[in-house]
Amino acid sequence: MIIVKSKNELAIMQEAGRIVAGALEVVKNAVAPGITTAELDKLAKEYIISQGATPAFKGYQGYPANICTSVNDQVVHGIPGPIALKEGDIISVDIGAFYKGYCGDAARTYPVGKVSSEALDLIKVTKEAFFKGLEFARVGYRVSDISHAIQVYVEERGYSVVKALVGHGIGQEMHEEPQVPNFGPPGRGPRLREGMTLAIEPMVNQGTDQVRVLDDGWTVVTQDGSLSAHYEHTIAITRDQPLILTQGE
């Protein structure tokens, strides 16, 4: 069942989203060669708690950390730890927070120091693909219209979208209906209605779309070892343009 949110609920979700955006900004400002992903996790946790919110990922289905930090060929769900970032790495950071019973969820991919032009282009295309999909996040379109726009944009630029993982509805639960794939034909799935809230999140690989999960049971990596990038916002369908709930100040 797809849960449509009231204006009051959307206002709370916007505050949850502001906290997520602030945590991402804190992490972004700390990303540099030499810092460990565990240190980034600590910074994000401290910020989220300072805002009266709770990290959404900690303990979710047993997940052991507060945020996800996925480096280079890691697509999503990388577990923060003692490994230090190196010059030329890219890191995808996914953060969720609960505030007054509602969830915000967003992700970015950041360069670590000076990175290759190829890595920068991957990050850029992944972000742009989100905004291509957002053009169809309007009343009357269907969920797969978003999906199709993302896939076309990514593949026209020589990259592939991960098909094993999808975006999702969001609200009082981090994952609600409907699923929001980053691929597929247009005109399928539920019709978008005012008050629906979605986490739209292109995951884009330099090489094949095939992925696998490491032995830790969480970290998803590209099958061919190619770089991967991630860009996510929580958004609301409104009567007019879509509202990005995880926008920063």
Position 248 scores a pLDDT of: 76
Contacts of 37 (CB under 8 A, 6+ apart): 69, 71, 78, 80, 81, 83, 85, 91
How many Cα atoms are found within 13 Å in the side-chain-facing hemisphere of 181? 18
| 139 belongs to a structural domain | yes
Closest CA to 198 of 119, 159, 143, 122: 143
* Helix, strand, or coil (residue 119): helix
Position 114 scores a pLDDT of: 98
DSSP 181: -
| 57 belongs to a structural domain | yes
Return per-residue pLDDT of the chain as tens, 249 residues: 999 999 999 999 999 999 999 999 999 999 999 999 999 999 999 999 999 999 999 999 999 999 999 999 999 999 999 999 999 999 999 999 999 999 999 999 999 999 999 999 999 999 999 999 999 999 999 999 999 999 999 999 999 999 999 999 999 999 999 999 999 999 999 999 999 999 999 999 999 999 999 999 999 999 999 999 999 999 999 999 999 999 976
Do residues 248 and 18 lie in contact, with contact meaning Cβ atoms separated by under 8 Å? yes
Distance of alpha carbon 159 from alpha carbon 175, whole angstroms: 27
- pTM score, two decimals? 0.97
| 1 belongs to a structural domain | no
Position 249 scores a pLDDT of: 62
What are 204's strand-pairing partners? 161, 229
Do residues 194 and 6 lie in contact, with contact meaning Cβ atoms separated by under 8 Å? no
| 158 belongs to a structural domain | yes
Position 211 scores a pLDDT of: 98
Q: What is the Cα Rg of the chain in Å?
A: 17
Domain extent, residue 32, equals: 7-244
Report the sign of the C-alpha dihedral through residues 37, 42, 46, 49, in that order. positive
Do residues 108 and 216 lie in contact, with contact meaning Cβ atoms separated by under 8 Å? no
Instruction: Report the Cα 225 to chain-centroid distance in Å.
Output: 21
| 249 belongs to a structural domain | no
Domain count, the chain: 1
Beta strand 228-230 with 197-200 is unpaired
* End-to-end CA, the chain: 32
| 63 belongs to a structural domain | yes
CATH number at residue 111: 3.90.230.10
